[in-house]
Amino acid sequence: FFTFHFLLPFIIAATVMVHLLFLHQTGSNNPLGINSNMDKIPFHPYFTFKDIMGFSILITVLVLISIFHPYTLGDPENFIPANPLVTPVHIQPE
């Protein structure tokens, strides 16, 4: 189990490298079959804006959760008041 979790990132990285190698050797093909440069969508203004908007929405949601509901993802045992007269069971004197 540990070996699988240790080796899997290296296998994925090697697969990505082989994929990029083959992609750069032969070039990518358009599934729509469009060969004209006029019909293609440029990367920078469209996909950059889309990625920035997705990142902004994600950060906004995370900030709103952390501001308005800070204890939502916390451990419920942190809200139990401490009793100074009782030692917890899992603590044993040495």
Catalytically active residues are 24, 28, 50-51, 94
Q: Are 12 and 5 in contact (CB under 8 A)?
A: no
Give the burial string for 33-46 (b: 16+ CB within 10 Å, else e): eeeeeeeeeeeeee
- For the chain, how many residues are written? 94
CB 66 within 8 A of CB 60: no
